Amino acid sequence: MIFKRLIILFAFIQGSLASANPFLPFFNKLYKAHQLIENKDFVNSKKIILKQVQSKDSNQCIAWYDLSRIYENDKKFDSALIFSEKALLKLFIQHQKASEAIKLSKRYSLNLNHFNDLITSQVEKLYILNRKSEPNLLGKKNRNVFYTEHFMTLKNRIEKHSLYKNYLDTSTREQVKNLGCVIQLEWSIEHLQYCEDTIEFKKALASKNINIYKEYIDLYWKNIEKNHHLKEVIHLKNFYKVIEDTLFKTAFELVLIENNEQSYIKFIEEYPNAPQKDSAFNLAENIAYLDAKSANSNSKYETYIKKYPRARHRSQIDYLMRYLNVVPVPYLTKDLKYVYVDSASSETWTDSLYDFAYPYASNYHKKWYSNGSMLVPGCALVMKFDDFGASDFFYIEKDGTPVNQKTYDEIVQFSANMAFVQKADRHGIINSLGQEILPCKFQRIYFDTTLKLGILYNGKSWGMFNLTGKLITPIQYSNILSPFSSITVNVDIIELPKVLIAVINDNLWGYITTTGEKAIEFNYKQAFPFKNGVALVETTNGKWMYIDFEGKQVSKEYDLIQDLDNGFSKIVKIVEGKRKYGILSKPFGSKIPQMNLTHNQLHDFGRNFKIKYQSDSIYKEFKEIIQPIHDDILITNNLHFNAFAIKTTKGYIIYDTAGVIVSKNAIPNLSVFAQKLFVTKEKKQVKWYNYVNHLMSNLSFEEINVISDHLVAGLTKGVWNIYQINEKPLAVINDKGLVYKDFEAIVPAEKEGYFMIQKKGVWGLCNENGKVILDCKYHDIYFTDNINNFIVRIPETASNEESSWGVINTAGKFIVDPVFEGISFEDFSGYWLVPYNEKNAWLDQKGNLFAEPIE
């Protein structure tokens, strides 16, 4: 019975050895090592295999196959290749017995292809590894020669191997080839070549260098032309196409940056097959058109036509050439429509009719108006009502064709070459070419014309953009203006800080640079713009202080600070629950205005005033010239005199900006008039502080009116006269030496440096030196572009009830006779609008009216 059981056990073990079964690892060390490799345990597998190959299993192909995999895992590819080649040769020996081949296949699920794949993958890995570690190891091209030769040598050795030849007879050779032995090696050589080509392609593509693109195209196109096997060059053709397209794109991007006619023409000549060729041509032609249009001469127009005979701007050029001798103006027809006519002959220039139209803008304007009528040189702004009666404004060329397809509800020009536009309650920006820098998508837009930066609001958040309309910050901030910004309109020009800009994020304020990078952390309850290198902030615990560009505290903390524009601040400390006021001098004090200055400008100012511009020195510049111990302080901000008035029990004491008392006596009932003068009222008489003698004026009036920083008008017994701050009367005299006094009213004019005087219900105009520019004859006086010409409204009867409008010069001569019901001058330079036939018609400076006569 025991002997029978031993026979069964021996048979079971032999069966286990001949097949893959659960008991095999206990009896076959190579199988156990193979399983350890499958489980990624290369260390223990190596120990077993090395012992086996040094003894009885040195002829087993699986031993060398797994040993090669172990060295490959260790990235020792040279050793791995030796063992994988040996494994393949041992495989041929074992395959002489069909039973061994079947056993190998069943036990390890391996065949000839697995052995071939192992060799080829190791050669490729070794190649890639050396390319990465030393990319220039094998020269420019055919860097894989060494590895290709390795494949070829291996292939020849296999084909010539005696065992291989003996084993493969004529009837089985083709069958074995189909298994992949030799053919697999040939494919691997091709694959390696593809790998090399791909690396060269990716390297060239990543270079972003036009010369490298050209070198690649030249090199690989020659290879494609030489190779006639499609399967071997199809990838090169694809690579070539990608590089060529990239070359065209990169070259075109470069000429877009240069943006001149010569660059575009050169691009077309150098890359005649580029898909961007038509765009380059159109851009070159457009630049040539704008240059010719700007020069506005026959020679330039003829040059343009010669270079671009079939260009899309040819019709406009024809009109421009005609325009050299014709000035088209908008003409009001009997049908209350506007059509453009020749200003000299009144012949129709274009057939299009508009509901309103401006004259054509010239190439250069010294002055422009907010209505946008002069924004696009050589073009005219026109308006038509849409089907719902809403206004659609757009620009037209000289031939009447629209500049583009954009129309707007409103246009507000804010610089010589930019304007805000509105469409359906959303705002954008256009340039002097009529192109949209920003589309009409935003609720609010503000722009700094000096920094050429803007801020916008999309209804939820704020962001910053540059002159081209590109966002330089995400639209993510709760606010970019100061906490108490007075801007209430949806579009406007503003002054942004030149260095750091205050923004709010997550309910806290911080600062970013003009390029959108965070500069000072978001740590403040409130933050205000920088002036002279410092900014006022409120901390989260309710304290106020100044910080520098680095966010360092450079002043003491106060319970409240009111920042003033004259170089000082009104400070507050709460003492026993009561506010106590003082005055703090900021860096540079009142020596220079509180301006938006850069680092370099501040350093220059610092040297001039012997201040070392650093945080420590700035801290020392903050001085309490008046300590915060007073119940109230009044402040004036006058061009000639800044002062502070401190409340005491006896009245107000006046201090200068150095904190020195300048008033000789306390002044009761002091107040500030127009933020420019200290005034006091006693027994219904008003006096002002005379900063020359540091006393209240000897003169007193029932009322006063501040005309400018050094002129005051005073009312006595129903008449007004004008005085200088030092109390000297200002002589008001005309060219004939006639002295004027006792006016019915004196008020500042709309233009600085002038004031208006009234006598017998009509107005005259004087300059700040007292010279009468226009006598008292007019109901209204308005300035025009010409400082010597004024639009005036004159009474037609002695009763002054009826009046008419005209244009008069300083010599008293009417340029436009006063026969109109009104004149508007802020519309277009050189023309005026006058009411005519229920609408407005244009009037030139010679008095020519461009309107069809009323029958």
DSSP 314-349: HHHHHHHHHHTS--EEEEE-TTS-EEEEETTT--BS
The Cα–Cα gap between 831 and 840 comes to 12
pLDDT score recorded for residue 135? 53
Strands 380-385 and 391-396: antiparallel
Selected residue with higher pLDDT from 820 and 116: 820
pLDDT score recorded for residue 10? 54
Percent of the chain with pLDDT over 70: 84
The Cα–Cα gap between 81 and 88 comes to 11
Question: Could you tell me the pLDDT band of residue 190, with boundaries at 50, 70 and 90?
Answer: low
pLDDT score recorded for residue 192? 60
pLDDT score recorded for residue 538? 96
The Cα–Cα gap between 310 and 399 comes to 17
Whether the Cβ atoms of residue 595 and residue 531 lie closer than 8 Å to each other: yes
pLDDT score recorded for residue 456? 94
CA neighbours within 13 Å on the CB side: how many for 825? 17
- From residue 272, alpha-carbon distances to 48, 248, 264, 265 in Å are 68, 10, 12, 10
Question: Could you tell me the pLDDT band of residue 166, with boundaries at 50, 70 and 90?
Answer: very low
Question: Could you tell me the pLDDT band of residue 438, with boundaries at 50, 70 and 90?
Answer: very high
- The answer on pLDDT for 158 being more than 70 is no
54-100 confidence digits (pLDDT tens):
777 777 888 888 888 888 888 887 788 778 778 877 877 777 677 77
The Cα–Cα gap between 139 and 506 comes to 57
pLDDT score recorded for residue 207? 80
pLDDT score recorded for residue 176? 44
Question: Could you tell me the pLDDT band of residue 520, with boundaries at 50, 70 and 90?
Answer: very high
- The answer on pLDDT for 161 being more than 60 is no
Over residues 258-278, the mean pLDDT reads 90
pLDDT score recorded for residue 180? 43
206-220, 239-253, 303-317, 474-488: which has the minimum mean pLDDT?
474-488
List residues bridging with 500 in a β-sheet.
513
- The answer on pLDDT for 212 being more than 70 is yes
pLDDT score recorded for residue 233? 67
Selected residue with higher pLDDT from 691 and 358: 358
- The answer on pLDDT for 732 being more than 90 is yes
15-29, 59-73, 137-151, 414-428: which has the minimum mean pLDDT?
137-151
- The answer on pLDDT for 572 being more than 50 is yes
Over residues 233-247, the mean pLDDT reads 80
Percent of the chain with pLDDT over 90: 38
239-253, 371-385, 596-610, 694-708: which has the minimum mean pLDDT?
596-610
pLDDT score recorded for residue 72? 86
pLDDT score recorded for residue 383? 97
The Cα–Cα gap between 198 and 242 comes to 12
* Mean of the per-residue pLDDT values of the chain: 83
List residues bridging with 805 in a β-sheet.
793, 820
pLDDT score recorded for residue 1? 55
Number of H helices, E strands in the chain: 19, 45
Over residues 525-543, the mean pLDDT reads 92
- The answer on pLDDT for 3 being more than 70 is no
328-363 confidence digits (pLDDT tens):
999 999 999 999 998 888 888 888 999 999 999 987
pLDDT score recorded for residue 663? 85
Question: Could you tell me the pLDDT band of residue 143, with boundaries at 50, 70 and 90?
Answer: very low
- The answer on pLDDT for 9 being more than 60 is no
Over residues 516-527, the mean pLDDT reads 93
pLDDT score recorded for residue 195? 67
pLDDT score recorded for residue 710? 87
How many other CB atoms are found less than 10 A from the CB of residue 181? 21
3 state SS of 57 = coil
Selected residue with higher pLDDT from 777 and 14: 777
Over residues 225-250, the mean pLDDT reads 74
Nearest Cα to Cα of residue 238 among 215, 205, 270, 212: 205
**DSSP class of residue 25?**
G
- The answer on pLDDT for 173 being more than 70 is no
Over residues 137-155, the mean pLDDT reads 50
109-136 confidence digits (pLDDT tens):
887 777 777 776 776 676 666 656 555 4
Over residues 542-557, the mean pLDDT reads 94
pLDDT score recorded for residue 151? 54
The Cα–Cα gap between 696 and 683 comes to 15
196-200, 236-240, 759-763: which has the minimum mean pLDDT?
196-200
Selected residue with higher pLDDT from 137 and 811: 811
